Amino acid sequence: MPIRIERKIVDYEVAKPDEGGQTEQKAAAPVESSIQHMHERIERPEVLEGSTYKIKTPLSEHALYVTINDVVLNPGSEHEIRRPFEIFINSKNMDHFQWIVALTRIISAVFRKGGDCTFLVEELKSVFDPQGGYFKRGGKFMPSLVAEIGEVIDQHLKKIGMLDTEGLDEHQRAFIEQKRAEAEARAAQDQTAADCDDSTDQYPEGAQLCGKCHTKAMVVMDGCLTCLNCGDSKCG
């Protein structure tokens, strides 16, 4: 409703916010703004926490060592989180030096940009070597060296909580252990001490490659091909 001013204005003052909801909202804003999120303007701290992973492939006699360093945001508070900040790959083998340096710089730039960087895992895992992949120890197939680097990043992101760990439930694990025990009772296993080969020393001899987890763990159980690693079955 409009107010009619009948007298001459001789003075004025600025109205202050009341003691109600506006004050409470303004007080809550600084708390939200004080939470630090990952973005490219964050400067590199003097000390970073990280982990180093070893990659040994049959493609080279020398191993690769992948180091991923994390920055800790909001330390000591309920909003404390770890985010990947940079990645380094080192090896005595210099054959892949140029593209490895380029790859680590690009991945580090994506880490520092902030936001969701988990897409890197699928992108790297989908790279296939035109000369063919190789089997890690235990029979897991890797389509390329780049894909195994993606596997390492996947493992690290799960470790710091950026990716969920996909695991089997209690009943699935019990079923797999039962089937694995039955298979091991019927077939002797050959043990190998090689660092990296296409052996299947963790599973019965003659096991086939699983299309779901890429592990040589598919054996015929009860007339049906069943994976002893992930539980996948051709019979559903």
Q: What angle do the packed helices 145-159 and 97-113 form, to 10 degrees?
A: 30
- Residue 113 belongs to some domain of the structure: yes
Q: Are residues 54 and 131 in the same domain?
A: yes
Determine, yes or no, domain membership for 236.
Answer: no
Q: Give the C-alpha separation, 113 to 217, whole Å.
A: 40
What single letter denotes the amino acid at residue 37? H
Residues 148 and 174 reside in one and the same domain:
no
Together in a domain, 102 and 198: no
d(CA 123, CA 19): 54
* Domain count of the fold of the chain: 2
Instruction: Answer yes or no: is 17 within a domain.
Output: no
Domain hosting residue 86, numbered range: 49-159
Q: What is the pLDDT along the chain (236 residues), one digit of tens a residue?
A: 677 777 777 777 777 766 554 544 444 444 456 788 888 888 888 999 999 999 998 888 899 999 999 999 988 888 889 999 999 999 998 888 999 999 999 999 999 998 899 999 999 999 999 888 898 877 788 999 999 999 999 999 999 989 887 666 666 677 777 777 777 777 654 544 444 444 445 677 778 888 777 788 888 877 788 888 887 887 76
Q: Is the pTM of this model over 0.95?
A: no
The residues with which 168 forms a beta bridge, in sequence order, are none
The answer as to whether 232 is a domain residue is no
What is the token pair recorded at 19? 């003691």
Strand partners, 84: 70
